[in-house]
Structure formats: C-alpha cells, structure tokens
C-alpha cells in the first residue's frame, strides 16, 4: 500500500500564508489527524492533498505517485489521484439514490455491472446501511448520510482516505458512537487515513498520531498520549484539554527539578528536563485534573512541596465532577475535583511531576 | 476485509496529455467571443472608414464623426435625452410606488395587481405602441370618446413628452420587477426596530424602506434609461408621422429611407450610441459596487410586515386600478378589439364593425403565415440552443478551474451594453464583409445567432444564481471520486440545474418571441418574423392586420407563460 508524503507545503491567500511550510508523513494504514482551531490551515492542507486546491510550493506524493511537485510544476487533478474524501457536508448527490451515489464512482472505473453490485452490497453492509440503497439522501438522517458518504469513498477502494470534519454535523451523543464506529471501521479496512478536526477529544480517541496545527504550521506531531502529557508549547497545552498557566522566574535548579517564583514570589517546584538558568522566564502549565484540594496541608500522604492555601472563588457543577476556581495571591487557577471542599478556603496540592515548564517566548 | 484490489482502477496519478475539459472550456469561450465580437468589430471598423467596409478602396478616417455631429444630430440627441429622462422617471415612479403598495402595504387585491403590473413585461414594445396608438392616438378610440365629451383634443402623443408617457408605462413593469424583489425580501425587523424607536410609519418608509430599496432603484433606473435610449418602436410609431427623430429612428431612416445608405455615418452614430450605453453601464457598475451596505442580513425567514394604509388603502386601490385599466387593460383589450373589427370608433356600434377579415388576410398570404412560423421556430430553436450555450458558459465561468473564467463571464454579460439596433447593424455589416456568411442571409439562423447573442446576459442571469445555490462540495466530491470536470458537469450539475434551465428557456422564448429591433436590419425574404411584418403593415397603413398579428403574438405569449408556469412549474420572473 502507500505512504503519504507531504513536504514543504505552502499555500498563500493574498498576504496570508494559510499553510506555511508543512511537512509530514503518514505510514501505510496509519490514522493521522490534523488538529487545530479554525483558520489554522488544516482544511487547506487536506484540500491540497485531495487536489481541490493548488498549493504554491512543496511536494505531495502517495507511494510512488507524485501528486504535486512545486519545482516541476506537476499537478495531478483530483480525479487522477485515486483517493477518497468525506466532506463535512457529506456532499451526497441529491438527485441520486444511495445506490446510485455509490455506483457513480464504479461506473467511472468501467467496472462490470455484476462486480459493481457486489461491491456496493458489500460496502453498504460494512456501514450497516444495506436496507437503504433505494432511498434518496434527503430521506436519511445525518448519521445515515455520514455513513453513506463514507461508503461512497470506500466503494472504489482508494489508496488514501481523507476525512474533513465528518462528525461535526452530528449531535453530541451520535458523534461519540460514530467515532467508535469509524475507528473500528478504519482498523478493519486498513486504509491510510488523514482526518481533519478541531475537536481535540475526537483527535485523541481516533488517531495513531496527531498533528496539532496553528497559524499554518504544525506545532507538534506525536501520538495522542505524548500530545496530552507532554505538549510541545503552551498553545498545545491549552488547545488539547485545558491548562492553568503560571508565569514565573527560575530561582533554583536541582537534579531534574526547578524552583520557580510565581505570582507574589511564592515558590513552585516543577520537574523539568529543560536546561534552564537562574533568572530564566518560564511559563508553567498544570492541568486542572492533576491538582487536588484538601482541608489540610498534609493530605493523601504527599510531602509539603507545592501546597498553597487558596480561597475558593467559584464552583461549577459539571455532572461528572466539579470545577473550582481558586485564588492564591494574584494568581487564580482551576481545579477539577470529585468532591467539593467544605469551607471557603482549602489547600491546593500541585504535584511537581504534573507541572510542565515552557521557556517564555522572549527568553528563547 | 482489505481494500487491496485487483479490480480495474483509473490510471493513477496521471496528468492527462489531451485534456478534453480544457478543449471544451476553450471551445465555449471561442463561441462566446465570436458571438459578441461578430456585431461589434464591423461597427468599430466601419465607424473609422470613409467608404463601405466591403469596398476595397476604403481608407481609415475620423471624418465620419465630423459629418455626424451636425445641428440636426444635436436635435436628435436632445429629443433622445428628453425621451429617456421622461420614460425613466415615469417608469421608476410607477414601478416603485407599485412595488411598495403591493409588496409592503395592506392594499386590497394586491396579488392581482402584482400580476397585472408585471404582465406587460411579456409584451413587445411594438405591440404596446400599436395598442396605445389604437386607443390614445389622434383618432384613437379613447381620444375620440373624451373629445366628444369635453370638445377639445385632450392630448397629443405625437410629441417627445407624449412618447415618454407611453415609454414610461411600457417600462414600468421592469422597474416594478426589480423593486418588488427588493421590497418583499426586506427584513421587517429593520422596520419594526425603527417603529419601536418612535418613528411614524411614514418616517419609516422614507428613512428605512426606501433607502433599503436603493440598489434596486439605481439598477432599474439605469436599465430603463438604456432601454429608452435604444427603443425603436415607440419613437417610430409616434415620432415618425411628425418627423420627430430620436437616435434609433435616425439610424432606421438613414438605412431604410435613403437610396444609398451611408454606411460610415450609420456606423459612426452606432459607435456613439454604443459608447453612451457602455458609459451608462459602467456608471451602474460603479453605483452598485457598495450595494452590500443595503443587503439586509436576515437570520430566519420572516414574513414582511405590512404597513396599514387605513382609509388610504381605498385611495391607493383606486389610483392603481385606474392605472392598470388605462395603462394595461385598455391598451391590450383595444388592440384585440381592433383586430376583430373593420374600424374601431365610438361613432358606430362595435357589432356592426365585427369581422374576421384581418385574420383571413394574414392566413391568406404565405409571407404572413411564414412570419408567425418563423417567430415560433426561432423562439423554440433559439431558446434551446441559447439555454444550452448559456448553461455551459455558466458552468465554465463559475464551476471550473479555467484560467480565463472571469473574462468569460464578463464577455457573456457584455451584450447588455449592445443595443439591439446596433447588434442588427453590426451583423448586417459583418455579412457584407465576410461573404461566406451570405448563406445565412435568408435563413432564420442568422436571427437565431443574433438573438442568442443579444440575450446571453438575460439567460446568464437565470442560470448563474441557481448554480451558486448548488453547493460546491457536490462537484468537489464528484471530482475526488474520479470524475473529470466535464463528467462532473454532465452527471451532477446539469441534473441539478434542470429547473433553472427551464426558466432560462422560458425567458429566452418570451424575449425571442417579442424581439423585433435586432431583426429589423437582418430579416430577408424567407426569414420574416412577426415584429418585422407588423412594421411593414404599419408603414403601409394596414392597422387591422397589425392588430391581428399583435393579438396572435399576445395569445402565443399568454398560452406559453400559462403552460410553463402552471403545467411545468417553471419560474419566470420570480
């Protein structure tokens, strides 16, 4: 099968560099997600791979087939690329039945009638839509349309599957089910897949690897666990899950951990592999669920490092847990906890190994 | 299951050697370019030649314009300007007031009024002119009735102002069409907001409703001014007998009334007219550039609220009824009556004058029957060919990666600035310059070509908006599953465009049915159409057969519009 290579991809719209020197590879059968806020360049990258947009520079190749080569002015139109793209809007042809929607790509490939019928039945069964062949798209629910859209791309067995936010038009409950189903299906089919989304939980749940994009660049490309636990910069830490940020200055370094003066000069100890100097400006990110609150400074057998007396400012009940906004000195941060502390004040414990230290931008 | 497969695939990752898509796109562009340039180039060229362009001794000169701008021509321009201003003002006032009354108030019977105000749009100016002549001319039925009551001749249509009244009433439907679309699309919340801020209904109308209609008003004003400038029928019918020359009648008389038409002078005048119209179109483009300011962004579709007129609703009703009866019903009804009488006069009872003679006369002569047949043939064939061409132009211009698609769109809408009379003269010149085109001379194909060129923008205006309603994802998805542009256009877009193509055909059919100006210079024995035959009868003074032909034309239009709308569900004018 095929490996997708994207090298030095650039696409500008007027003055804006929508895609700014993006490179990545997707291994055969791998599921890669392009994740980022709207306008980060993920959809433009996908359109360039599909051939719907002509990039300005770079190289796109699938296996031995070069789709686009900026230096040689080579551009293969979308119909010559043998790839499948599922649109956010599904883009089912409203004047054709489900069956005919699936039949169209097969007819283009001049596949004999019997073989076409066999394949359509096979793929409709795969997406659990066997009974719906005679329906028109407008008579289907959103979830069903999404399945048909996927079936339409799988039916001609493309070498590469591209998915452009295919779940974003489904309601929350259905989205979660479709997500599991989609991942299962991709495993089963084994097709190399590039998935575009702005939904971080989708990205984490589905992907072998995630490329987080911001302002036209890939800021981190790694497996979901690394992306979540070891974000490359504050943007990733903030965009994936949620994070509290503390700004401070390094005041001491000792075997693998640093002491940082935050806010009013309170010391925060953080484990960090970074090589930092005294006086370095840093940003520390801590996820709300990694902090815990207790009524005493010595709870849960932890030592006394990073224990802060806090005042509780706001409580939000979210069903599965509570989110509490607490204040220490001038800093306030959020803590997720299962049970609310009794009083107006409490102690916040921040484990040093849960602190992720980034050098401040100006200090680099 | 694995998707590995030995089944046939498209030739993977290929850049095609021969690209049929490009070939088709270039082909469409070439056809459009030829159509538009065919009439223009000969006019441009001839305007700067001292002899007819087929004469091999012809030399370049600018003297034609010197010969053109004489005192007599200054008079022609003065008349034309006054006629255009009068026509435009009357048409716009009637159209705007009508649109507000029908679209925004609780006027009684507003749906019926809406239809009646729009209907004359389907009729040719020539028919309207004959209708007015029959009823309000110097010996018109209504004129004589009023004269017998008050003792003096109440009005004289044989003046520039008189023509402007006829032109204004004839063009009011167009003004109404643009304004009603804008008025009924207005977001009532904008008016409600002004009301709740303390403005009276009258203030709201003045400060919110009318300004929001401004793009429609500007657009309609310039369209009507252009149409008035290039209008031939009304000036010919009412100005001809008393030697009042307007621009178009000047050209007409130069060509038809002189023994040896002065090619260079006619071309220079045409060139001048073309420049004026193009300047007006450019002005329109400039004024419309900021139209976005007036686009009302409505979230949910809400029914426009209506201004209560109170007791005034019956005053408005009366005024509109008066207008519709005397501006539309009497004019059309009079024409129909005239076609079935020997003479239409209040001095004798109508039943004594009844006759089928006019119709028998038409049925008796092959030329007249042929002109009816030709008109229908041109409308059907031209409508079909035009719809196909326009659809493909729209597909290339808005749904392809063709490098010159913007230019193609401009090319397709540029005939808006080519008056019918110029198109006729230009193609006439082209034929005398390229003898190979001569075989078209006595066939209806010449008219089919000329008409399609003339109405490219009209058809484009019906197809392009419908095309933009079709999500681009639908063709993008067809492209990614392996269909090239041409296949995508055929299998996906054409199927979805069918309703718009029917509308386009209906519009072209109606326009081709009533077109005559373009044909005046181009028809020849064998290719007569209803309009040109009516003009010939008119010049001979045979008003009976003129009315009969006009009635036949109206009848065909009514049947066509009714069937298209009711039976086929085609949308014509919204």
Closest chain A residue to B21 measured between Cα atoms?
A77
- B491 neighbourhood in chain A, CB within 8 Å: 104
Q: Determine the residue of chain B that is closest to A49 in CA distance.
A: B480
For residues B41 and B127, membership in a common domain is answered with no
User: No. of H helices and E strands in chain B?
Assistant: 30, 0
Could you tell me if A104 and A96 are in contact, meaning their C-beta atoms sit under 8 angstroms apart? Answer: yes
- B482/A157 CB distance under 8 A: no
Rounded CA-CA distance A349/A336 in Å is 12
| Residue B339 within a domain | yes
Calpha distance B233→B231 (Å, rounded): 6
Contact at CB, A82 and B9, closer than 8 angstroms: yes
Beta strands in A143-216 (DSSP E): 160-164, 192-197, 209-214
- By CB neighbour count within 10 A (0-12 exposed, 13-18 middle, 19+ buried), where does A102 fall? buried
Helix, strand, coil fractions of chain B, as percent rounded to 5:
75, 0, 25
Helix (H, G, I), strand (E, B) or coil at B134: helix
A91 touching B, CB under 8 A? yes
Nearest Cβ partner for B2 among A78, A93, A190: A190
- Residue B5 pLDDT greater than 80, yes or no: no
B323/B445 same-domain check: no
Q: What is the mean predicted confidence (pLDDT) over B237-252?
A: 85
Q: Is residue B290 very low, low, confident or very high in pLDDT (cuts 50, 70, 90)?
A: low
Nearest CA in chain B to A92: B474
Q: Which of B7, B471, B482 has its CB closest to that of A79?
A: B482
Q: Do residues B167 and B234 both lie within one domain? A: yes
The two tokens of residue A340 are 């609310």
Tokens of B171: 């063009």
Report helix, strand and coil shares of chain A as percent, to nearest 5: 30, 35, 35
Question: For position B7, what pLDDT does the model report?
Answer: 41
pLDDT at residue B1 tops 50: no
**Minimal Cβ distance to A105: which of B481, B484, B492:** B481
Q: B478 with B360, same domain?
A: yes
Strand, helix or coil for residue A356: strand
Instruction: Report which secondary-structure segment, H or E, holds A324.
Output: strand A322-328
pLDDT at B11: 47
Q: What is the mean pLDDT of residues B462-473?
A: 86
Q: Which two tokens stand for residue B424?
A: 């006729």
Does A125 contact chain B (CB < 8 Å)?
Answer: no
What is the value of pTM for the model shown? 0.84
Altogether, the residues listed in chain A come to a count of 364
Q: Please enumerate in sequence order all residues whose Cβ is within 8 A of that of A52, keeping only pairs 6 or more positions apart, or say none.
A: A78, A85, B476, B479, B480
* 8 A C-beta contact, residue A137 and residue A94: yes
- B200 occurs within a structural domain: yes
B61 within domain boundaries: no
B573 band by pLDDT with thresholds 50, 70 and 90: low
Distance from CA of A207 to the nearest CA of B (A): 20
Task: Determine the average pLDDT of the residues in B354-382.
Answer: 88
From the list A146, A46, A138, the residue with the least C-alpha distance to A89 is A146
Distance (Å, rounded) from C-alpha A188 to C-alpha A122?
A: 13
B183/B317 same-domain check: yes
Nearest to B13 among A65, A109, A119 (CB): A65
- Identify from A80, A123, A128, A164 which residue to disrupt to test chain B contact, counting B C-beta atoms within 10 A and taking the largest count: A80
pLDDT at residue B418 is higher than 90: no
Amino acid A302: pLDDT: 57
DSSP-derived secondary structure for A278-294: TT-EEEEEE-GGG-EEE
Element (H, E) at B386: helix B383-398
Pairing of strands A331-337, A322-328: antiparallel
Report the candidate in B136, B142, B548 with the shortest Cα–Cα distance to residue B363.
B548
Is the CB of residue A158 less than 8 Å away from at least one CB of chain B? yes
Tell me the shortest Cα–Cα distance from B6 to chain A, in angstroms: 10
Q: In the prediction, which pLDDT does B54 show?
A: 73
Between chains, do A51 and B492 touch, taking CB under 8 Å as contact?
no
- Rounded CA-CA distance A295/A297 in Å is 7
Name beta bridge partners: A337. A322
- B483 at A interface, C-beta within 8 A: yes
The nearest CA of chain A is from the CA of B570 a distance in Å of 18
Element (H, E) at B194: helix B188-196
State which of B354, B388, B419 marks the end of a domain: B354
- The pLDDT, as a whole number, for residue A208 is 92
Q: Can you read off the two tokens belonging to residue B127?
A: 């028919």
Say whether both B338 and B398 belong to one domain: no
Same domain (yes/no): B30, B174: no
Is the residue at B380 inside a domain?
A: yes
Which of B482, B484, B499, B500 to mutate to probe the A interface, most A CBs <10 Å? B482
A52 touching chain B per CB within 8 A = yes
CA–CA separation, B482 vs B9, rounded Å? 10
- Closest-CA residue of B relative to A60 is B13
pLDDT band, very low/low/confident/very high, at B2 (cuts 50, 70, 90)? very low
Q: Does residue B404 share a domain with residue B345?
A: no
Find, among A75, A125, A83, A74, the residue nearest to A105 by Cα.
Answer: A83
Q: Which residues of chain A are under the pLDDT cut of 50?
A: 363-364
pLDDT band for position B299 (cuts 50, 70, 90): very low
Does residue B302 fall inside a structural domain? no
Across the interface, whether the CB atoms of B482 and A87 are under 8 A apart is answered no
Distance from CA of B397 to the nearest CA of A (A): 17
Q: Which of B293, B321, B354 finishes a domain?
A: B354
Q: Look at residue A135 in the predicted model and tell me its pLDDT.
A: 92
Higher pLDDT, B7 or A117: A117
If asked whether residues B126 and B27 sit together in one domain, one would say no
Q: HSE (CB half, 13 Å, CA atoms) of B18?
A: 3
Q: pLDDT of B64-103, one tens digit each?
A: 788 878 778 888 888 899 999 999 999 999 999 998 888 8
Query: Which residues are CB-contacts of B263 (< 8 A; sequence separation ≥ 6)?
Result: B46, B49, B51, B52, B53, B429
Backbone angles phi, psi at A281, to 5 degrees: -85, 135
pLDDT at position B6 is: 41
Asked whether B131 and B550 are in contact (CB, 8 A), the reply is yes
CA A88 – CA A163 distance, rounded (Å): 8
The H or E element spanning position B169 is helix B160-185
Residues A204 and A239: beta-carbon distance below 8 Å: no
pLDDT recorded at residue B300? 43
Query: Tokens standing for A59?
Result: 């190289």
pLDDT over 50 (residue B301):
no
CB-based contacts of A284, cutoff 8 Å, min separation 6: A245, A246, A247, A248, A260, A262, A268, A270, A355, A356, A357, A358
Q: How far apart are CA A20 and CA A18, in angstroms?
A: 6
Mean pLDDT of chain A: 87
Q: B572 and B445 in one domain?
A: yes
What residue in B sits closest to A103 (Cα-Cα)? B481
Strand order in the sheet with A331-337: A292-294, A345-349, A307-317, A322-328, A331-337
All domains of chain A in start order, with CATH: 4-238 (3.40.50.300), 242-359 (2.40.50.100)
Closest CA to B176 of B109, B144, B224, B123: B224
Name the closest residue on chain A to residue B6, using Cα atoms: A157
Which residues lie below 8 Å from residue A14, measured CB to CB, with a gap of 6+? none
Specify the DSSP element, H or E, that contains A18: strand A16-26
Q: What ipTM describes this predicted complex? A: 0.83
Same domain assignment for residues B315 and B416: no
Let me know if residue B9 belongs to a domain. no
**A89 close to B (CB below 8 A):** yes
CB A6 within 8 A of CB A66: no
By C-alpha distance, which of B531, B529, B387, B374 is closest to B456? Answer: B387
- Residue A82 phi, psi dihedral angles, 5° rounding: 60, 50
CB B263 within 8 A of CB B54: no
Q: Which neighbouring-strand residues pair with A22?
A: A9
Task: For chain B, give the percent of residues with pLDDT over 90.
Answer: 17
User: How far is it, in rounded angstroms, from Cα A269 to Cα A31?
Assistant: 38
Residues B513 and B379: beta-carbon distance below 8 Å? yes
B9 touches chain A (CB under 8 A): yes
Alpha helices per DSSP H over B414-542: 420-433, 444-454, 456-468, 472-480, 485-488, 494-514, 517-520, 530-540
Contact (CB<8Å) B3/A154: yes
H/E segment holding residue A268: strand A266-271
Integer Cα distance of B136 and B55 in angstroms: 47
Task: Calculate how close chain A gets to B502, using CA atoms only, in Å.
Answer: 17
DSSP E strands, A134-256: 160-164, 192-197, 209-214, 217-222, 244-254
Q: Is the pLDDT of residue B480 over 70?
A: yes
Q: Two tokens at B431?
A: 């034929």
Closest by CA to A124, choosing from A157, A140, A102, is A102
CB contact under 8 A, B484 and A79: yes
Assess if residue B275 is contained within a domain.
Answer: no
Assess whether pLDDT exceeds 90 at residue B367. no
Question: How far away is chain A from the Cα of B300, in angstroms, using its nearest Cα?
Answer: 20
Kindly give the residue spans of alpha helices, DSSP state H, lying in B8-140: 20-47, 63-68, 71-104, 110-118, 125-136
Query: CB-CB: which of A62, A91, A115 is closest to B7?
Result: A115
Exposed, middle or buried, A197 (CB in 10 Å: 0-12/13-18/19+)? Answer: buried
Q: How many domains would you assign to chain B? A: 2
Q: Which domain holds residue B378?
A: 22-47+356-574
Q: Which CATH number belongs to the domain containing residue B421 in this structure?
A: 1.10.3720.10
Is the per-residue pLDDT at B433 higher than 90? no
Which alpha helices (DSSP H) does B198-262 contain, by range?
A: 201-204, 210-212, 214-229, 233-234, 247-256
Q: Cβ contact (<8 Å) for B1 and A78? A: no
Based on the fold, state whether residues B447 and B335 are members of the same structural domain: no
For B102-144, write each residue's pLDDT tens digit.
888 888 888 888 888 888 888 888 888 888 888 888 888 888 8
Q: Is residue B46 helix, strand or coil?
A: helix
Domain-located, residue B14: no
Instruction: Write down the pLDDT at residue B203.
Output: 81
- Closest-CA residue of A relative to B400 is A52
Bridge partner list, A59: A7, A69
Domain boundary among B290, B323, B354: B354
- CA–CA distance, B138 with B242 (Å, rounded to integer): 12
- Could you give the CA distance from residue B87 to residue B110 in angstroms, rounded to a whole number? 25
Q: Read off φ and ψ for residue B308, nearest 5 degrees.
A: -75, 130
Q: Which residues pair with A210 in a beta bridge?
A: A33, A222
């Amino acid at each position: 099968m095929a490996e997708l290579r994207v090298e030095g991809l650039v696409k500008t719209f007027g003055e804006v560099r929508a895609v700014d020197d993006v490179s990545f590879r997707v291994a055969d059968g791998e599921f890669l997600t392009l994740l980022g806020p709207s306008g980060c360049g993920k959809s433009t990258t996908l359109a360039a791979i599909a051939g719907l947009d002509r990039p300005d520079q770079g190289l796109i190749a699938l296996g031995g087939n070069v789709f686009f080569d900026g230096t040689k002015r080579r551009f293969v139109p979308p119909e010559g690329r043998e790839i499948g793209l599922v649109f956010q809007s599904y883009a089912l042809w409203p004047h054709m039945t489900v069956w005919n929607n699936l039949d169209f790509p097969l007819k283009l490939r001049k596949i004999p009638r019997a073989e076409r019928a066999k394949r359509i039945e096979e793929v409709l069964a795969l997406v659990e839509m066997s009974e719906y062949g005679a329906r028109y798209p407008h008579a289907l629910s959103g979830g069903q349309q999404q399945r048909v859209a996927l079936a339409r791309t799988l039916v001609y067995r493309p070498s590469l599957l591209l998915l452009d936010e295919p779940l974003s038009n489904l309601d929350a409950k259905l989205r979660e089910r479709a997500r599991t189903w989609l991942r299962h299906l991709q495993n089963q089919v084994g097709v190399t897949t590039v998935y575009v989304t702005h939904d971080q939980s989708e990205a984490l749940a589905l992907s072998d690897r995630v490329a987080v994009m911001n302002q036209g660049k890939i800021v981190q490309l790694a497996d979901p666990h690394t992306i979540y636990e070891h974000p490359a910069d504050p943007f990733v830490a903030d965009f994936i899950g949620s994070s509290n940020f503390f700004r401070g200055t390094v005041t001491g370094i000792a075997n693998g951990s640093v002491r940082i003066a935050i806010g009013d000069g309170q010391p925060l100890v953080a484990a960090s592999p970074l090589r930092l100097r005294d006086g370095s400006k840093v940003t520390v990110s801590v996820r709300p669920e990694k902090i815990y609150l207790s009524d005493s400074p010595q709870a849960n057998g932890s030592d006394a490092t990073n224990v802060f007396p806090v005042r509780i400012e706001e409580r939000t009940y979210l069903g599965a847990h509570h989110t509490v906004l607490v204040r220490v000195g001038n800093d306030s941060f959020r803590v997720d906890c299962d049970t609310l502390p009794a009083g107006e004040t409490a102690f916040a414990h921040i484990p040093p190994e849960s602190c992720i230290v980034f050098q401040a931008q100006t200090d680099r | 299951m694995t998707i590995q497969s030995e089944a046939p695939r498209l030739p993977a990752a290929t850049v095609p050697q021969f690209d049929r898509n490009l070939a088709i796109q270039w082909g469409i562009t070439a056809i459009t370019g030829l159509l538009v340039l065919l009439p223009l180039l000969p006019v441009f060229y001839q305007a700067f030649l001292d002899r007819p362009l087929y004469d091999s001794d012809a030399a370049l000169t600018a003297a034609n314009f010197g010969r053109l701008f004489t005192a007599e021509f200054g008079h022609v321009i003065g008349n034309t300007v006054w006629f255009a201003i009068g026509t435009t003002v009357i048409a716009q006032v009637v159209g705007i007031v009508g649109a507000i009354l029908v679209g925004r108030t609780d006027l009684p019977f507003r749906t019926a009024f809406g239809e009646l105000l729009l209907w004359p749009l389907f009729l040719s100016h020539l028919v309207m002119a004959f209708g007015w002549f029959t009823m309000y001319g110097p010996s018109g039925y209504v004129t004589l009735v009023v004269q017998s009551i008050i003792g003096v001749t109440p009005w004289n249509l044989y003046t520039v102002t008189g023509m402007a009244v006829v032109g204004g009433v004839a063009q009011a439907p167009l003004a109404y069409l643009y304004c009603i679309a804008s008025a009924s699309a207005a977001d009532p919340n904008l008016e409600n907001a002004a009301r709740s801020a303390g403005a009276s209904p009258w203030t709201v109308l003045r400060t919110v409703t009318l300004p929001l209609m401004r793009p429609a008003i500007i657009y309609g004003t310039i369209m009507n001014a252009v149409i008035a400038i290039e209008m031939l029928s009304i000036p010919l019918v009412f100005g001809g007998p008393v030697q009042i020359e307007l621009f178009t009648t000047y050209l007409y008389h130069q060509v038809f009334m002189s023994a040896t038409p002065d090619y260079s002078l006619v071309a220079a005048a045409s060139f001048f007219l073309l420049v004026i119209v193009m300047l007006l179109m450019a002005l329109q483009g400039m004024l419309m550039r900021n139209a976005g300011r007036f686009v009302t962004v409505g979230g949910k579709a809400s029914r426009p609220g209506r201004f209560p007129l109170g007791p005034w609703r019956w005053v408005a009703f009366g005024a509109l009824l008066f207008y519709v009866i005397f501006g539309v019903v009497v004019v059309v009804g009079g024409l129909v009556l005239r076609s079935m009488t020997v003479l239409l006069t209040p001095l004798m009872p109508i039943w004594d004058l009844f006759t089928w003679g006019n119709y028998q006369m038409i049925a008796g002569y092959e030329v007249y029957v042929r002109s009816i047949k030709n008109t229908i043939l041109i409308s059907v064939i031209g409508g079909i060919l035009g719809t196909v061409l326009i659809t493909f132009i729209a597909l290339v211009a808005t749904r392809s990666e063709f490098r010159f698609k913007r230019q193609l769109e401009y090319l397709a809408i540029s005939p808006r600035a080519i008056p019918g009379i110029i198109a006729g003269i230009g193609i006439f010149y082209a034929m005398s310059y390229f003898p190979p085109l001569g075989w078209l001379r006595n066939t209806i194909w010449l008219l089919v070509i000329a008409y399609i060129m003339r109405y490219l923008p009209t058809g484009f205006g019906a197809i392009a908006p419908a095309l933009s309603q079709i999500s681009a994802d639908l063709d993008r998805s067809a492209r990614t599953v392996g269909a090239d542009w041409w296949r995508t256009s055929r299998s996906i877009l054409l199927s979805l465009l069918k309703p718009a193509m029917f509308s386009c055909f209906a519009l072209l059919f109606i326009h081709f049915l009533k077109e005559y100006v373009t044909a005046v210079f181009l028809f020849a024995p064998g290719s007569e159409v209803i309009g040109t035959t009516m003009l010939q009868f008119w010049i001979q003074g045979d008003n009976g057969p003129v009315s009969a032909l006009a009635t036949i034309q109206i009848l065909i239009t009514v049947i066509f519009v009714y069937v298209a709308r009711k039976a086929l569900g085609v949308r014509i004018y919204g």
